[in-house]
Amino acid sequence: MRLPLIQFIVITLCGFSTFAQQHPIAYNTVADYSFIKEALSKTPLLNESFGGLKQSVDAFIGKDIDVPVPKDLAGGYTHERHKENYTIMFNSSVLYQITGEAKYAEIVKKLFLKYAKLNPTLKNHPLGSNPNPGRLFFQPLNDANWLVYTGLAFDGIYNYLTPEERKQIADGAFKPEVDYFTNDLEPWFGWIHNHAVWSCAGVGIVGIATDNKDYVDMALYGKHKDGKSGLLANLDGLLSPDGYYTEGPYYTRYAILPFYLFANAFQHYKPELKVFNRRNNVLQKAFTNALQQTDIIGQFYSYNDALKEKNFTCNEMVEVLDMVWGTFGADSSLLPVARMQKRVALSRGGASIAKALNRTGEKGKNVSYPYKSIELTDGAKGDEGGLSILRTGKGDNLVSLIYKYSAHGLSHGHFDKLNINLYDGKNEILSDYGAVRYISIEQKSGGKYLPESKTYSKQTIAHNTLVVDEKSDFDGDEEESQKYHPAKLFSNVSSGNVQVVCAEDDKAYEGVKMQRSIYMVNIPGHEKPLVVDLFNALSNTSHQYDLPFQYQGTFIKTNFKYTSSNNAQATLGKKNGYQHIWKEAEAVLTNKPLTQFTFLNDKSFYTISSITDDSTHILFTRTGANDPNFNLRREPAYIIRKKGVNQTFVNAVEIHGVYNANAENAKGSYSAVNKMEILQNDANYSVVSIVFDGKPLLIIQRNSNFNQHAENEVIVNNKKYSFTGNYTVLYNDSTIK
């Protein structure tokens, strides 16, 4: 079954540039395939992955696979057929290289020859998306996917094809697509955007596979080969120096795959380019940070446009993880992820990580990915705000709070300046809606983004941050939002027991300066942390301020009275997302300094304790209004509404107790917060006092001239507190460190 290691030189034919290349090279080299074949029989997970691939392809061997004229949206026949075709072609080319069996090359060749006939006849897809329609698919992104995988497939069966067949495929199957991208869709091809990464990777890989230097250069440096667009410009422009991808982790997953596929191909083709090492290994950082932006079951954090069903066991992450292992070397922290993926790519890295898993065996089973607190900058230069993830606890008890003060995030960004999300173990507690979309379901507009994505889930009210006057940040203007970003004032996520991030924004709402400080405090004697959220809104004019908490859970109890919408209910507002929210109940608080709401999620209770005043209203809402196609999930929110010139929201989010309905057991179902007070809140300092479990928790924070070496003396209740830096936190008069 082993292939002879034939090496030969092909003199390229007319229409191709005149350099020669050994194949395969684009996905695995000859040496890589030797390594994989050597490992195969001795490495169960590799063998299973190989078996899975073989089974998926064998089902089509000997069949006449359809290459239909494009007609449908995602989920429809022609869309799914073409998608499956490029998958079969790529997989079968890999099987051909591993097994040497001609049938695997033959099936790829036959499909290629059909595409070589079909593609020159194609016009824009009849249901093409505007302004950039696809050809084989309704959107060109899918065409770009097709190009990447068929490019790799061509390279894999290169040696099986005659020169005439190669030319027929290059001219018939590939050229119309490449020409379409680089001519008809030139601006799209020239974007700095994940779509462009895919299309450039497609053109580049086809260039390598067909020995076409023109394609390779357009892919690397843009249509005009001036470096203003193309893969390298995207690599420099899309990722921050930390490897943060501005569209968020759901799209990082998607955007890094073509980066890796092309970087891997170039590593073989032109190692001197050192794509993997560009910008201090920024691609490696992007991958690591994508993993750090998942919950403990591997689901990507759902901010920006995201589908909650996606996790790090998806194909993209399997492929990339294995390339990371193969490229940057063994890293045992990745083994728990590979174990959860339950399969490997048939690449050098995949074979290598499968061997490592084999060596680790049973004893690695209870190890989890080493999640930790991290801070990431946004922007190509790292100067456009960022994101902090505050974490505490281990394994199933990991608590993660995401504080987002990043730039907008291109077309998949939301109006969510200074937003927070909270995860407790595997559960999303203060949630982000993500995108309104049912991917791949034809009946739901072919899997496209649905209108409610724009009208609801992108809007500020769909998040856990301040909404001023029922408008979204930048009044929902994406272009405007894209120009600005908040600024981090100070932070410390390295300390064990007090983690803090403070950021401000004065652009999202004209004339309103917002400053939000998030403290995650491990209080001695308490297993779970307390989150203290200090949110100041400063303005010269009067506004309505809404601070929503999108809580996931079951309403348990409030410590205040409210009025329910019993027989009829109406929307909370008319636009900016408010039209999608039903008002289920409302409370007008008077003389209620401490307002508490407790809910239950899975096995824990959660209480939001708030300092409120006579201007405060509380709203209980639920999504689902003005949703004629039932696209929205019905999700509750708890909204604190205040009116005035300046307003301060102080909230403590508490995780407490244990609930086990199966054992009929509820412990600690009551909050430990007994009292909350603002003792000072001015341009110099904010001082908040919380009586927690009967003892005082005191937070003192500078509000100007932030400096971690600053010396402070603050008098609180006639007592002097001295500290160095931007903040101090004391519990029962002892500093928490």
Q: Toward its own copies, which CB reaches closer, 14 or 568?
A: 568
Nearest distance from residue 410's CB to its own copies, in Å?
Answer: 21
Q: Toward its own copies, which CB reaches closer, 549 or 659?
A: 659
325 lies in the binding site for its own copies (CB under 8 A): no
Helix (H, G, I), strand (E, B) or coil at 470: coil
Q: Toward its own copies, which CB reaches closer, 119 or 552?
A: 552
Considering only 584, 640, 689, 698, the residue that binds its own copies (CB under 8 A) is: 584
Helix (H, G, I), strand (E, B) or coil at 533: strand
Q: Toward its own copies, which CB reaches closer, 558 or 728?
A: 558
H or E, element range at 610? strand 604-611
Q: How far is Cα 82 from Cα 149, in angstroms, rounded to an integer? A: 11
> DSSP characters for 8-24?
------TTS-S----SS
Region near its own copies per CB under 8 A, out of 328-336, 467-475, 660-668, 708-716: 660-668
Which residue is it, tokens 């590939």? 174
* CA distances to 147, 179, 313 from 176, in Å: 11, 5, 34
Q: How far is Cα 591 from Cα 57, in angstroms, rounded to an integer? A: 70
Is the separation of the CB atoms in 142 and 129 below 8 Å? Answer: no
Considering only 100, 624, 644, 696, the residue that binds its own copies (CB under 8 A) is: 624
Q: Where are the alpha helices (DSSP H) in 274-386?
A: 278-292, 315-328, 335-341, 348-360
Nearest distance from residue 554's CB to its own copies, in Å?
Answer: 8
Considering only 313, 497, 646, 674, the residue that binds its own copies (CB under 8 A) is: 313
Region near its own copies per CB under 8 A, out of 59-67, 186-194, 362-370, 665-673: 665-673
Q: Which amino acid is at 343?
A: R
363 lies in the binding site for its own copies (CB under 8 A): no
H or E, element range at 727? strand 727-731
Q: Toward its own copies, which CB reaches closer, 80 or 236?
A: 80
Is-catalytic flag, 484?
Answer: no
Q: Which of residues 25-84 bind its own copies (CB under 8 A)?
A: 75, 80
Structure tokens at 379: 């922007």
Q: How far is Cα 162 from Cα 59, in angstroms, rounded to an integer? A: 26
Q: How far is Cα 553 from Cα 205, in angstroms, rounded to an integer? A: 47
Q: How far is Cα 362 from Cα 357, in angstroms, rounded to an integer? A: 9
Q: Which amino acid is at 426?
A: K
Q: Toward its own copies, which CB reaches closer, 539 or 631?
A: 631
Region near its own copies per CB under 8 A, out of 259-267, 419-427, 562-570, 610-618: 562-570
Region near its own copies per CB under 8 A, out of 7-15, 363-371, 564-572, 679-687: 564-572
Considering only 5, 6, 663, 683, the residue that binds its own copies (CB under 8 A) is: 663
Is the separation of the CB atoms in 468 and 476 below 8 Å? Answer: no
Contact string (CB under 8 A) for its own copies, positions 107-146, x = contact: ----------------------------------------
Of the candidates 282, 304, 281, 277, the one whose C-alpha atom is nearest the C-alpha of residue 293 is 304
Residue 425 is classified by DSSP as: T
Residue 429 is classified by DSSP as: E
Q: Which of residues 516-555 bind its own copies (CB under 8 A)?
A: 554-555
Is the separation of the CB atoms in 310 and 338 below 8 Å? Answer: no
Of the candidates 533, 525, 463, 536, the one whose C-alpha atom is nearest the C-alpha of residue 500 is 533
Region near its own copies per CB under 8 A, out of 147-155, 255-263, 283-291, 629-637: 629-637
Nearest distance from residue 670's CB to its own copies, in Å?
Answer: 8
Region near its own copies per CB under 8 A, out of 114-122, 203-211, 438-446, 523-531: 438-446
Q: Which of residues 668-697 bind its own copies (CB under 8 A)?
A: 669-670
Considering only 162, 366, 494, 567, the residue that binds its own copies (CB under 8 A) is: 567
Q: How far is Cα 321 from Cα 287, in angstroms, rounded to an integer? A: 8
301 lies in the binding site for its own copies (CB under 8 A): no
Per-residue three-class SS string for 663-706:
CCEEECCCCCEEEEEEEEECCCEEEEEEEECCEEEEEEEECCCC
Considering only 664, 682, 711, 713, the residue that binds its own copies (CB under 8 A) is: 664
Considering only 13, 570, 645, 715, the residue that binds its own copies (CB under 8 A) is: 570
Helix (H, G, I), strand (E, B) or coil at 553: coil
Q: Toward its own copies, which CB reaches closer, 535 or 549?
A: 549
Considering only 251, 627, 640, 703, the residue that binds its own copies (CB under 8 A) is: 627
Is-catalytic flag, 303?
Answer: no
Q: Toward its own copies, which CB reaches closer, 554 or 717?
A: 554
Q: Toward its own copies, which CB reaches closer, 309 or 614?
A: 309
Q: How far is Cα 231 from Cα 246, in angstroms, rounded to an integer? A: 17
Nearest distance from residue 631's CB to its own copies, in Å?
Answer: 8
Candidate list 251, 433, 519, 551, residue with the active-site label: 251
Considering only 96, 519, 620, 692, the residue that binds its own copies (CB under 8 A) is: 620
Give the torsion through C-alpha atoms of 188, 194, 195, 196, to 10 deg. 50
Candidate list 193, 412, 463, 656, residue with the active-site label: 412
Per-residue three-class SS string for 372-417:
CCEEEECCCCCCCEEEEEEEECCHHHCEEEEEEEECCCHHHCCCCC
Give the torsion through C-alpha atoms of 149, 152, 157, 159, to 10 deg. 160
Instruction: For 358, list phi and psi in degrees, rounded to 5.
Output: -60, -45
Nearest distance from residue 599's CB to its own copies, in Å?
Answer: 9
Q: How far is Cα 328 from Cα 146, in angstroms, rounded to an integer? A: 28
Nearest distance from residue 413's CB to its own copies, in Å?
Answer: 22
Q: Toward its own copies, which CB reaches closer, 89 or 235?
A: 89
Environment class of residue 42 by beta-carbon count within 10 Å: exposed (0-12), middle (13-18) or buried (19+)?
exposed
CB-based contacts of 221, cutoff 8 Å, min separation 6 = 227, 229, 230, 232, 233
626 lies in the binding site for its own copies (CB under 8 A): yes
Q: Toward its own copies, which CB reaches closer, 127 or 170?
A: 127
Distance of CA 720 to the CA centre of its chain: 45
Considering only 438, 519, 551, 731, the residue that binds its own copies (CB under 8 A) is: 438
Considering only 306, 600, 639, 690, the residue that binds its own copies (CB under 8 A) is: 600
Considering only 397, 542, 564, 724, the residue that binds its own copies (CB under 8 A) is: 564
Contact string (CB under 8 A) for its own copies, positions 442-481, x = contact: xxx--x----------------------------------
Q: Toward its own copies, which CB reaches closer, 378 or 627?
A: 627
Is the separation of the CB atoms in 519 and 525 below 8 Å? Answer: no
> How many residues bind to its own copies according to rule CB under 8 A?
55
Residue 230 is classified by DSSP as: S
Residues with a known catalytic role: 251, 412
Binding site for its own copies (CB under 8 A): 75, 80, 307, 309-311, 313-315, 438-444, 447, 554-557, 564, 566-571, 579, 582, 584-585, 598, 600, 620, 622, 624-630, 633-634, 659, 661-667, 669-670
